[in-house]
Structure 1
Amino acid sequence: MTPSSWIRRGIAIAAALCACAATSASAETVTLTFAIFDDPLYPSSYSQAGFIITSLYPDGGHLHAGDGNLWLHSREGSSPYQIRRIDGGSFDFLGFDYQGGDSVFVSDTGASYTILGEQPLATFAMPPSFHDVTYVNWYMNNPGDLDFPDPQWGSIDNVVLNIPAAPEPAPPAMFGIGVAGLLLAARRSQRRYAGGAGA
Protein backbone atom coordinates (compact mmCIF):
# COMPACT_ATOMS: atom_id res chain seq x y z
CA MET A 1 0.00 0.00 0.00
CA THR A 2 1.44 3.38 -1.02
CA PRO A 3 1.83 6.23 1.51
CA SER A 4 -0.91 8.26 -0.17
CA SER A 5 -3.24 5.27 0.16
CA TRP A 6 -2.41 5.07 3.86
CA ILE A 7 -3.26 8.75 4.30
CA ARG A 8 -6.55 8.46 2.46
CA ARG A 9 -7.44 5.35 4.38
CA GLY A 10 -6.47 6.96 7.68
CA ILE A 11 -8.68 9.99 7.12
CA ALA A 12 -11.60 7.80 6.07
CA ILE A 13 -11.25 5.63 9.18
CA ALA A 14 -11.01 8.68 11.43
CA ALA A 15 -14.15 10.15 9.89
CA ALA A 16 -15.96 6.85 10.37
CA LEU A 17 -14.89 6.68 14.00
CA CYS A 18 -16.10 10.23 14.52
CA ALA A 19 -19.46 9.38 12.98
CA CYS A 20 -19.79 6.33 15.21
CA ALA A 21 -18.90 8.41 18.24
CA ALA A 22 -21.63 10.93 17.43
CA THR A 23 -24.60 9.83 19.48
CA SER A 24 -28.20 10.95 19.65
CA ALA A 25 -30.12 11.57 22.83
CA SER A 26 -33.13 9.30 22.51
CA ALA A 27 -36.54 10.79 21.80
CA GLU A 28 -38.87 11.06 24.79
CA THR A 29 -42.65 10.76 24.74
CA VAL A 30 -44.54 12.23 27.67
CA THR A 31 -48.23 12.37 28.63
CA LEU A 32 -49.74 15.29 30.51
CA THR A 33 -52.30 13.87 32.94
CA PHE A 34 -53.31 16.99 34.94
CA ALA A 35 -53.13 15.11 38.21
CA ILE A 36 -51.90 17.93 40.49
CA PHE A 37 -52.59 21.68 40.23
CA ASP A 38 -51.02 24.40 42.36
CA ASP A 39 -54.48 25.95 42.74
CA PRO A 40 -57.56 23.67 42.79
CA LEU A 41 -59.80 26.30 41.10
CA TYR A 42 -57.93 28.86 39.00
CA PRO A 43 -54.28 27.91 38.58
CA SER A 44 -52.08 30.38 36.74
CA SER A 45 -50.27 27.57 34.93
CA TYR A 46 -49.74 23.83 34.80
CA SER A 47 -46.31 22.19 34.50
CA GLN A 48 -45.35 18.56 33.97
CA ALA A 49 -42.44 16.69 32.37
CA GLY A 50 -40.75 19.84 31.05
CA PHE A 51 -43.93 21.35 29.55
CA ILE A 52 -46.03 24.28 30.73
CA ILE A 53 -49.57 25.40 29.92
CA THR A 54 -50.64 28.99 30.48
CA SER A 55 -53.53 31.27 29.50
CA LEU A 56 -52.75 33.99 26.96
CA TYR A 57 -55.86 35.98 27.83
CA PRO A 58 -54.95 39.69 28.16
CA ASP A 59 -54.61 41.23 31.60
CA GLY A 60 -53.83 37.97 33.32
CA GLY A 61 -55.73 34.85 32.35
CA HIS A 62 -56.14 31.67 34.34
CA LEU A 63 -56.68 27.96 33.82
CA HIS A 64 -59.58 25.84 34.99
CA ALA A 65 -58.56 22.73 36.86
CA GLY A 66 -60.76 19.68 36.45
CA ASP A 67 -60.81 16.29 38.08
CA GLY A 68 -57.70 14.87 36.42
CA ASN A 69 -58.19 17.02 33.31
CA LEU A 70 -58.03 20.63 32.14
CA TRP A 71 -61.06 22.75 31.22
CA LEU A 72 -61.33 25.77 28.94
CA HIS A 73 -64.34 28.02 28.36
CA SER A 74 -65.16 30.60 25.70
CA ARG A 75 -65.91 33.48 28.07
CA GLU A 76 -63.49 36.15 29.27
CA GLY A 77 -60.48 35.17 31.33
CA SER A 78 -59.12 32.01 29.77
CA SER A 79 -58.95 31.40 26.01
CA PRO A 80 -56.52 30.72 24.52
CA TYR A 81 -54.33 28.31 26.44
CA GLN A 82 -50.79 27.76 25.23
CA ILE A 83 -48.83 24.49 25.45
CA ARG A 84 -45.04 24.75 25.15
CA ARG A 85 -41.78 23.37 26.46
CA ILE A 86 -40.30 25.20 29.43
CA ASP A 87 -36.90 25.35 27.70
CA GLY A 88 -38.45 26.73 24.51
CA GLY A 89 -37.48 23.72 22.39
CA SER A 90 -39.52 22.05 19.67
CA PHE A 91 -41.82 19.06 20.13
CA ASP A 92 -44.41 16.92 18.38
CA PHE A 93 -48.04 17.45 19.42
CA LEU A 94 -49.32 13.89 18.95
CA GLY A 95 -52.81 13.65 20.45
CA PHE A 96 -55.17 13.96 23.40
CA ASP A 97 -58.57 13.03 24.85
CA TYR A 98 -61.25 15.68 24.39
CA GLN A 99 -64.91 16.38 25.04
CA GLY A 100 -67.01 19.54 24.83
CA GLY A 101 -67.68 22.50 22.55
CA ASP A 102 -65.99 23.98 19.50
CA SER A 103 -62.21 24.04 19.83
CA VAL A 104 -59.39 25.09 17.53
CA PHE A 105 -55.75 24.13 17.98
CA VAL A 106 -53.16 26.30 16.19
CA SER A 107 -49.38 25.88 16.19
CA ASP A 108 -46.61 28.42 15.68
CA THR A 109 -45.99 26.83 12.25
CA GLY A 110 -49.55 27.64 11.11
CA ALA A 111 -51.00 24.15 11.51
CA SER A 112 -54.67 24.22 12.53
CA TYR A 113 -57.06 21.54 13.79
CA THR A 114 -60.77 22.08 14.56
CA ILE A 115 -63.11 20.03 16.72
CA LEU A 116 -66.81 20.80 16.34
CA GLY A 117 -69.08 21.27 19.36
CA GLU A 118 -71.09 18.72 21.30
CA GLN A 119 -68.16 16.34 21.05
CA PRO A 120 -68.43 13.29 23.32
CA LEU A 121 -65.25 12.04 24.97
CA ALA A 122 -62.90 10.74 22.27
CA THR A 123 -59.21 10.39 21.52
CA PHE A 124 -57.79 12.58 18.75
CA ALA A 125 -54.55 11.94 16.86
CA MET A 126 -53.00 15.07 15.42
CA PRO A 127 -51.73 15.26 11.83
CA PRO A 128 -47.99 15.42 11.03
CA SER A 129 -48.31 19.18 10.52
CA PHE A 130 -48.21 19.42 14.33
CA HIS A 131 -44.73 17.89 14.48
CA ASP A 132 -41.68 20.05 15.22
CA VAL A 133 -43.61 22.96 16.72
CA THR A 134 -42.60 25.28 19.55
CA TYR A 135 -46.08 25.95 20.88
CA VAL A 136 -49.74 25.07 20.35
CA ASN A 137 -52.59 27.44 21.24
CA TRP A 138 -56.01 26.06 22.18
CA TYR A 139 -58.92 28.39 21.39
CA MET A 140 -62.62 28.26 22.18
CA ASN A 141 -64.76 30.74 20.29
CA ASN A 142 -67.45 32.80 22.01
CA PRO A 143 -70.69 31.81 20.25
CA GLY A 144 -73.98 33.63 19.99
CA ASP A 145 -74.83 37.15 21.11
CA LEU A 146 -71.76 38.66 22.77
CA ASP A 147 -73.98 40.68 25.13
CA PHE A 148 -75.43 37.48 26.56
CA PRO A 149 -73.09 34.75 25.41
CA ASP A 150 -73.78 31.13 26.09
CA PRO A 151 -70.28 29.94 27.00
CA GLN A 152 -68.82 26.78 25.58
CA TRP A 153 -66.74 24.42 27.68
CA GLY A 154 -64.24 21.79 26.67
CA SER A 155 -61.93 19.48 28.56
CA ILE A 156 -58.63 17.94 27.56
CA ASP A 157 -56.67 15.09 29.11
CA ASN A 158 -53.83 12.66 28.37
CA VAL A 159 -52.01 15.09 26.08
CA VAL A 160 -49.28 13.10 24.33
CA LEU A 161 -46.15 15.01 23.35
CA ASN A 162 -42.86 13.87 21.86
CA ILE A 163 -39.48 15.54 22.36
CA PRO A 164 -37.38 14.70 19.27
CA ALA A 165 -33.91 13.21 19.61
CA ALA A 166 -31.13 15.79 19.58
CA PRO A 167 -27.79 14.83 17.97
CA GLU A 168 -24.76 15.11 20.21
CA PRO A 169 -21.66 15.38 17.98
CA ALA A 170 -18.39 13.83 19.10
CA PRO A 171 -15.88 16.36 20.47
CA PRO A 172 -13.65 17.82 17.73
CA ALA A 173 -10.61 16.91 19.79
CA MET A 174 -11.46 13.22 19.42
CA PHE A 175 -11.46 13.57 15.65
CA GLY A 176 -8.19 15.51 15.70
CA ILE A 177 -6.42 12.95 17.84
CA GLY A 178 -7.65 10.16 15.60
CA VAL A 179 -6.44 11.87 12.44
CA ALA A 180 -3.06 12.73 13.98
CA GLY A 181 -2.50 9.17 15.07
CA LEU A 182 -3.40 7.72 11.69
CA LEU A 183 -1.25 10.25 9.83
CA LEU A 184 1.68 9.37 12.09
CA ALA A 185 1.18 5.71 11.25
CA ALA A 186 1.04 6.62 7.56
CA ARG A 187 4.29 8.58 7.85
CA ARG A 188 6.08 5.66 9.46
CA SER A 189 4.77 3.42 6.73
CA GLN A 190 6.06 5.92 4.13
CA ARG A 191 9.56 5.66 5.60
CA ARG A 192 9.42 1.88 5.45
CA TYR A 193 8.14 2.08 1.90
CA ALA A 194 10.96 4.45 0.88
CA GLY A 195 13.58 2.25 2.57
CA GLY A 196 12.24 -0.84 0.81
CA ALA A 197 12.19 0.93 -2.56
CA GLY A 198 15.87 1.92 -2.25
CA ALA A 199 17.05 -1.59 -1.36
Structure 2
Amino acid sequence: MSRFLLSASRLLALLLCAVLLSACVQDLTGPDDPDDPPPPPVRMRTVYDLKVSPRYIDVVGSCDKVFGSPTAGEFQYRVEVNGEGRTNGFESQNYNSRLGVVTGRVAGQQITFAPRTYTWSSMSSPGRIEAVVFGTEWDGAIRDGDMSNRRGARTVPFALGRRPGTVTIGATSECRLVLAYEAEWVQREVPA
Protein backbone atom coordinates (compact mmCIF):
# COMPACT_ATOMS: atom_id res chain seq x y z
CA MET A 1 0.00 0.00 0.00
CA SER A 2 2.88 2.33 0.69
CA ARG A 3 3.99 1.68 -2.86
CA PHE A 4 0.60 2.75 -4.09
CA LEU A 5 0.73 5.93 -2.00
CA LEU A 6 4.20 6.65 -3.29
CA SER A 7 3.04 6.24 -6.89
CA ALA A 8 -0.05 8.34 -6.25
CA SER A 9 2.02 11.12 -4.66
CA ARG A 10 4.47 11.04 -7.61
CA LEU A 11 1.56 11.20 -10.01
CA LEU A 12 0.05 14.09 -8.09
CA ALA A 13 3.39 15.94 -8.08
CA LEU A 14 3.76 15.42 -11.84
CA LEU A 15 0.25 16.72 -12.47
CA LEU A 16 0.94 19.77 -10.30
CA CYS A 17 4.14 20.50 -12.26
CA ALA A 18 2.30 20.10 -15.57
CA VAL A 19 -0.39 22.57 -14.49
CA LEU A 20 2.21 25.09 -13.33
CA LEU A 21 4.23 24.72 -16.53
CA SER A 22 1.20 25.12 -18.78
CA ALA A 23 0.35 28.40 -17.03
CA CYS A 24 3.79 29.71 -17.94
CA VAL A 25 3.72 28.76 -21.61
CA GLN A 26 2.89 31.68 -23.97
CA ASP A 27 0.88 31.50 -27.14
CA LEU A 28 3.30 30.20 -29.77
CA THR A 29 1.98 32.68 -32.33
CA GLY A 30 2.94 35.53 -30.04
CA PRO A 31 1.13 38.80 -29.61
CA ASP A 32 0.27 40.94 -32.64
CA ASP A 33 3.26 42.92 -33.83
CA PRO A 34 2.42 46.53 -33.04
CA ASP A 35 4.71 47.58 -35.91
CA ASP A 36 2.45 45.89 -38.52
CA PRO A 37 0.26 48.63 -39.98
CA PRO A 38 -3.44 47.87 -40.32
CA PRO A 39 -4.65 47.34 -43.86
CA PRO A 40 -5.48 50.65 -45.53
CA PRO A 41 -9.17 51.52 -45.59
CA VAL A 42 -10.86 51.10 -48.95
CA ARG A 43 -11.31 54.55 -50.44
CA MET A 44 -14.75 55.12 -51.88
CA ARG A 45 -16.12 57.71 -54.27
CA THR A 46 -19.64 58.76 -55.16
CA VAL A 47 -20.96 58.21 -58.68
CA TYR A 48 -24.31 58.91 -60.32
CA ASP A 49 -26.41 56.91 -62.76
CA LEU A 50 -29.27 58.31 -64.82
CA LYS A 51 -32.00 56.68 -66.91
CA VAL A 52 -34.23 58.83 -69.12
CA SER A 53 -37.29 57.31 -70.79
CA PRO A 54 -39.35 59.41 -73.25
CA ARG A 55 -43.01 58.32 -72.86
CA TYR A 56 -45.27 60.23 -75.31
CA ILE A 57 -46.06 63.65 -76.76
CA ASP A 58 -49.24 65.41 -75.57
CA VAL A 59 -51.00 67.46 -78.23
CA VAL A 60 -52.20 70.56 -76.37
CA GLY A 61 -53.21 72.39 -79.56
CA SER A 62 -53.45 70.92 -83.09
CA CYS A 63 -52.28 74.08 -84.95
CA ASP A 64 -55.23 73.63 -87.39
CA LYS A 65 -58.71 75.12 -87.56
CA VAL A 66 -61.45 74.91 -90.14
CA PHE A 67 -64.08 77.66 -89.90
CA GLY A 68 -62.81 78.44 -86.38
CA SER A 69 -63.07 74.86 -85.06
CA PRO A 70 -59.92 72.90 -84.20
CA THR A 71 -59.16 69.95 -86.48
CA ALA A 72 -56.46 67.29 -86.47
CA GLY A 73 -52.95 68.58 -87.04
CA GLU A 74 -50.49 66.61 -89.19
CA PHE A 75 -47.44 66.27 -86.93
CA GLN A 76 -43.90 65.03 -87.33
CA TYR A 77 -41.55 64.86 -84.36
CA ARG A 78 -38.01 64.20 -83.24
CA VAL A 79 -37.05 63.30 -79.64
CA GLU A 80 -33.50 63.48 -78.29
CA VAL A 81 -31.83 62.84 -74.94
CA ASN A 82 -28.33 64.32 -75.02
CA GLY A 83 -25.38 64.93 -72.73
CA GLU A 84 -21.96 63.86 -71.51
CA GLY A 85 -20.72 63.54 -75.09
CA ARG A 86 -23.63 61.42 -76.36
CA THR A 87 -26.61 62.14 -78.58
CA ASN A 88 -29.54 59.71 -78.54
CA GLY A 89 -32.79 60.06 -80.38
CA PHE A 90 -35.54 58.87 -82.66
CA GLU A 91 -38.01 60.53 -84.98
CA SER A 92 -41.05 60.02 -87.13
CA GLN A 93 -40.09 58.63 -90.54
CA ASN A 94 -38.41 61.33 -92.69
CA TYR A 95 -38.91 64.00 -90.03
CA ASN A 96 -39.29 67.58 -91.29
CA SER A 97 -39.88 66.43 -94.87
CA ARG A 98 -43.20 66.69 -96.71
CA LEU A 99 -42.59 63.13 -97.85
CA GLY A 100 -42.32 62.01 -94.22
CA VAL A 101 -44.94 60.17 -92.21
CA VAL A 102 -47.32 62.43 -90.29
CA THR A 103 -49.44 61.66 -87.24
CA GLY A 104 -52.90 63.25 -87.18
CA ARG A 105 -53.98 64.36 -83.72
CA VAL A 106 -56.41 66.83 -82.16
CA ALA A 107 -55.98 68.63 -78.86
CA GLY A 108 -56.12 66.23 -75.92
CA GLN A 109 -54.66 63.28 -77.80
CA GLN A 110 -51.16 61.80 -77.57
CA ILE A 111 -48.50 60.82 -80.06
CA THR A 112 -47.11 57.51 -78.82
CA PHE A 113 -43.96 55.62 -79.77
CA ALA A 114 -42.04 52.49 -78.81
CA PRO A 115 -40.56 52.63 -75.29
CA ARG A 116 -36.91 53.60 -75.12
CA THR A 117 -34.53 54.23 -72.22
CA TYR A 118 -31.20 56.05 -72.40
CA THR A 119 -28.67 55.41 -69.63
CA TRP A 120 -25.61 57.19 -68.25
CA SER A 121 -23.60 55.27 -65.65
CA SER A 122 -20.87 56.11 -63.14
CA MET A 123 -20.79 59.87 -63.70
CA SER A 124 -18.50 61.59 -61.20
CA SER A 125 -21.04 64.39 -60.80
CA PRO A 126 -24.64 64.72 -61.94
CA GLY A 127 -24.11 65.42 -65.63
CA ARG A 128 -25.94 67.97 -67.71
CA ILE A 129 -28.39 65.82 -69.65
CA GLU A 130 -31.06 67.44 -71.84
CA ALA A 131 -34.43 66.18 -73.01
CA VAL A 132 -35.21 67.73 -76.40
CA VAL A 133 -38.26 67.69 -78.68
CA PHE A 134 -38.65 69.01 -82.23
CA GLY A 135 -42.00 69.35 -83.98
CA THR A 136 -43.36 70.25 -87.39
CA GLU A 137 -47.00 70.54 -88.34
CA TRP A 138 -47.97 70.49 -92.00
CA ASP A 139 -50.68 72.48 -93.76
CA GLY A 140 -50.77 70.59 -97.04
CA ALA A 141 -47.30 70.99 -98.53
CA ILE A 142 -46.36 73.92 -96.26
CA ARG A 143 -45.01 73.87 -92.71
CA ASP A 144 -47.23 75.69 -90.24
CA GLY A 145 -45.56 78.97 -89.28
CA ASP A 146 -46.19 78.29 -85.58
CA MET A 147 -44.74 74.75 -85.66
CA SER A 148 -41.99 74.64 -88.28
CA ASN A 149 -39.16 72.48 -86.94
CA ARG A 150 -39.78 74.06 -83.58
CA ARG A 151 -37.34 73.01 -80.84
CA GLY A 152 -37.64 72.84 -77.07
CA ALA A 153 -35.04 71.59 -74.58
CA ARG A 154 -34.83 71.17 -70.84
CA THR A 155 -32.01 70.01 -68.61
CA VAL A 156 -33.09 66.91 -66.69
CA PRO A 157 -33.09 68.16 -63.09
CA PHE A 158 -30.96 66.30 -60.56
CA ALA A 159 -33.16 64.70 -57.92
CA LEU A 160 -32.49 61.23 -56.53
CA GLY A 161 -35.25 58.79 -57.36
CA ARG A 162 -37.73 58.55 -60.21
CA ARG A 163 -39.55 61.67 -61.40
CA PRO A 164 -41.61 62.76 -64.41
CA GLY A 165 -40.55 65.66 -66.61
CA THR A 166 -41.83 67.63 -69.59
CA VAL A 167 -40.53 69.74 -72.47
CA THR A 168 -42.93 72.12 -74.23
CA ILE A 169 -42.86 73.60 -77.73
CA GLY A 170 -45.30 76.03 -79.31
CA ALA A 171 -45.93 79.73 -78.83
CA THR A 172 -49.67 79.44 -78.14
CA SER A 173 -51.98 76.88 -76.59
CA GLU A 174 -53.63 76.50 -80.01
CA CYS A 175 -50.40 75.07 -81.43
CA ARG A 176 -48.45 73.27 -78.70
CA LEU A 177 -46.80 69.90 -78.07
CA VAL A 178 -45.49 68.60 -74.74
CA LEU A 179 -42.95 65.76 -74.51
CA ALA A 180 -43.46 63.67 -71.37
CA TYR A 181 -40.48 61.69 -70.04
CA GLU A 182 -39.39 59.92 -66.88
CA ALA A 183 -35.97 60.33 -65.27
CA GLU A 184 -34.38 58.22 -62.53
CA TRP A 185 -31.23 59.34 -60.70
CA VAL A 186 -29.29 56.88 -58.52
CA GLN A 187 -26.30 57.66 -56.28
CA ARG A 188 -23.77 54.88 -55.57
CA GLU A 189 -20.51 54.44 -53.66
CA VAL A 190 -17.76 52.59 -55.55
CA PRO A 191 -14.08 51.91 -54.77
CA ALA A 192 -11.90 54.87 -55.78
Report the TM-score, using the length of structure 2 for normalisation.
0.29
State the TM-score, normalized to the length of structure 1: 0.28
Higher helix share: 1
Larger radius of gyration: 2
